[in-house]
Structure 1
Amino acid sequence: MLHIKDKAPNFTLPSTSGKTFTLYKDMLLKPCILYFYPKDFTPVCTEQACGFRDTFDLLRELDVQVIGISRDDIETHLRFREEFKLPFELLSDADGTVGKSYDLVPKDMPFFTRRTTYLLDKHHAIAGAYENLFSTGLNLKEIVSKLKH
């Protein structure tokens, strides 16, 4: 994992919005949550996506964007987003390049991306890094409030 205060690597990926998403351009001076996950429609990944969906109003109130990233293609992401009514964009990191740049692809498992959530401040510095955020019992509002300072 990357460390607190590290500058998040920039990237450009296709999005379920139909456009490409570039971190430094699309999140210019905006705090955000980048959550990496292994695969759409699997039980834990679905639970995680729905956790962000269920706290989305709070995040919107705090003006924090949520972006989900996995290796699934856009068509699969679109079905996943629609089935679970996800109000945020999903990005396709098909070859795992972005996951590697965020240090989330184990050397012994090159086709896997670890489930990790990064909170980025408005300058793209890492303000928090969490594995399995929703199973930790942490208060999302307290975590996200770090981004507002």
Structure 2
Amino acid sequence: MELKVGDTIPHFMAKDTNGTDFDSRNVVGQKPLVIYFYPKDNSPGCTAQACSFRDQYEDFKDLGAEVIGISSDSVASHQKFSKQFKLPFILLSDSDKKIRKLFGVPSGMFGLLPGRVTYVTDKNGVVQMIFDSILATKHIPKALEAIKKLV
């Protein structure tokens, strides 16, 4: 099942960059969110995307929103990736791909790569925008524009 605009973000749990248990109930329904799924830590597109979110993170925070990146990489991989590129936002490890399945994130590149999809929710946890594109850096302005419309 694929999440659509108007759906509420389902409950999920994962390990964050510090290996701490992350419970979506602590943020979903509290503030606007940008939840982005990406294929892999340290790949060129994913690094460009993460660094673009990093560079505009304060703009999201100023609007009261939180950014969460999710991939199937391990906590150790996320720690290294986050430290290397000084990422100020949450990265979640979805090693069993349960969250990806819960959201219904489609695969990209003829099913060879995990898809790259960004979800923007309002403060009630309702999906307001879904952007599905392999073009990594296009996600940031789309997400920021969607958040601005909510505030």
Which TM-score bucket, shorter chain as reference?
A: 0.7 to 0.9
Alignment of 1:1-149 (within 5 A): 1-106=2-107, 109=111, 112-132=113-133, 134-135=137-138, 138=141, 140-148=143-151
Query: Using the alignment, how far apart are the partners of 2:120 and 2:41 within structure 1?
Result: 21
Amino acid at match of 2:124: H
- Structure 2 distance, partners of 1:91, 1:141, is 21
Indicate how the Cα distance of structure 1 residues 141 and 38 shifts in structure 2: closer, same or farther if over 3 A, else same: closer
SS in 1 for 2:46: helix
CA, structure 1 residues 17+146, in 2 after alignment: closer, same or farther (shift >3 Å)? farther
Q: In 2, distance between residues paired with 1:34 and 1:114?
A: 13
Q: C-alpha displacement at 1:142, in angstroms?
A: 2.4
Structure 1 position 139, deviation (Å): 5.3
Q: CA deviation at 1:17?
A: 3.4
Residue 34 of structure 2 aligns to a residue whose secondary structure is strand
Structure 2: gaps of 5 or more residues: none
Structure 1 spans left out of the alignment, 5+ residues: none
The range that moved more, 25-34 or 70-79, is: 25-34
Provide the rounded CA distance (Å) in 2 between the counterparts of 1:122 and 1:88. 18
Using the size of structure 1 for normalisation, the TM-score is: 0.88
The amino acid across from 1:103 in the alignment is G
Query: Could you tell me how far 1:115 is from its partner in structure 2?
Result: 0.3
Quote the Cα distance in structure 1 between the aligned partners of 2:92 and 2:100. 12
State how far apart, in whole Å, the 2-side matches of 1:142 and 1:44 are: 21
Maintained 8 Å contact 1:31/1:123: yes
Cα 1:59/1:26, change in 2 over 3 Å? same
Number of aligned positions between the proteins: 146
Which one-letter code corresponds to 1:143 in the other structure? A
Compute the RMSD of aligned alpha carbons.
Answer: 2.1
